[in-house]
Amino acid sequence: MRVVLAFSGGLDTSFCVAYLKEERRAEVLTVTVNTGGASRADLDLIAEQARALGAAQHREIDARQAVYDGYVATLIRGNVLRGEVYPLCVAAVRTQQAIEVARIAREIGADAVAHGSTGAGNDQVRFDVAMHVLLPGVPILTPIRDLGLSREQATAYLEQRSLPVPEGSGRFSINRGLWGTTLGGEWTHDPWSAPPRDAWDEPADEPLAQTERREIVIGWKDGLPVQLGGRPLAGPDLVERLGRLTHAYGIGKGIHLGETALGIKGRIGFEAGAALVLIAAHRELEKLTLTRWQLFWKDHLARFYGDRLHEGQAFDPVMRDITAMIASSQQRVAGETRVELSARQFRVLGVRSPFSLFDPEVARYGETNALWDGEEARAFSKLAAIPSMLAFRAGHVDERLSNE
């Protein structure tokens, strides 16, 4: 039996290689999909781990551009933050990983595909849905989920067979991708607990505190970042470069608690400095260039898009429709944003655009105006009061107001 396994090199997928070989007598082809956040050295270690575990073949696929074009671009344009906090670091990459694994499975005529998701998380849904859509009828093998293994049990299984256990796999579960890094572990099971200090890969406190404030300029076209500090960059390169910069300042760390695809509450830590900076800067540029109702409807649909992507429903046709509407709204979201970076925080200082709707020649808020006079303003205010005035007369009014 030939099995294509989505392989991260972590504890769960390392267990899957050994288990599928020994218990299912499978020829395992491991596929690592580079969706960002991994250095060349990291990818080489993953390949070495696959060989040491006995994988028949190992393939590496660079899917950073596909992730950016297919998902991250819409997440930026939509200002998508789940729970107003979390920029969907994992959901932005899992579907693309599944697409690449399915492609390899079709290419080699695999008998089955496999992934290392547990039975309690969102990733199992994301992988399974994609596989059911792209590989109908092909068995999906999920040893960790089916056996209900703990991390301690998976570690013991590998150690008993003298197989390499990934470094640092006992305490934390770390997922790195283009749109950010997530951190899991025992601490996530108690909503009162914070991540251990040594869980974060961060600069030492003293150098970070001494880091000088820095201002950066991000250039935008069609609602997407195209320049950083005046230098044109492709989307994935810009995100990764900005991510390294925000990491040096300790920017972008947070904790998200919310609904999972299975309906239970979940909690995760994350570091996504580039995502948070880009979304904040993009939102400010939109305020300058879009109308009130463009913003209103785009944000409503973008939130729905984020929810469905988070829950593994990227293949629903409505996602293409929403992406098209959001893209249409971004044709004049162009210009530059000024962002100040300092220790563990950032601020969007200013925006400018050739499509700005901010026109001091028309009126200066709270001061002067050119398109109307005082009498017209007085009449507007009187007309604006009519609906509430009629409701007040009819008794449809808050009791606290009527008693005053």
pLDDT of residue 29: 98
Smallest CA-to-CA distance from 8 within 151, 117, 149, 163 is with 117
Query: Can you give the pTM of this predicted structure?
Result: 0.91
Smallest CA-to-CA distance from 190 within 263, 265, 120, 122 is with 265
Residue extents of the structural domains in the chain: 2-170, 177-352, 360-404
Smallest CA-to-CA distance from 275 within 42, 36, 41, 99 is with 36
Smallest CA-to-CA distance from 59 within 104, 99, 95 is with 104
pLDDT of residue 396: 72
Angle at CA of residue 173, ends 168 and 177, nearest 5°: 110
Smallest CA-to-CA distance from 94 within 126, 135, 63 is with 126
pLDDT of residue 203: 56
pLDDT of residue 189: 84
Contacts for 307 with CB less than 8 Å, ≥ 6 apart? 82
For the domain spanning 177-352, the CATH number is 3.90.1260.10
pLDDT of residue 318: 97
Instruction: Average pLDDT across each block of 10 residues of the chain; the chain has 404 residues. List them in order.
Output: 96 96 96 94 96 96 97 98 94 93 97 92 93 97 93 92 81 85 86 82 58 92 97 97 94 91 86 97 98 95 96 96 97 98 95 90 63 83 90 73 55
Domain 2-170 of CATH type 3.50.50.60 = no
Residue 321 CA to chain centroid, in angstroms? 20
pLDDT of residue 168: 64
d(CA 45, CA 57): 15
Contacts for 389 with CB less than 8 Å, ≥ 6 apart? none
pLDDT of residue 310: 94
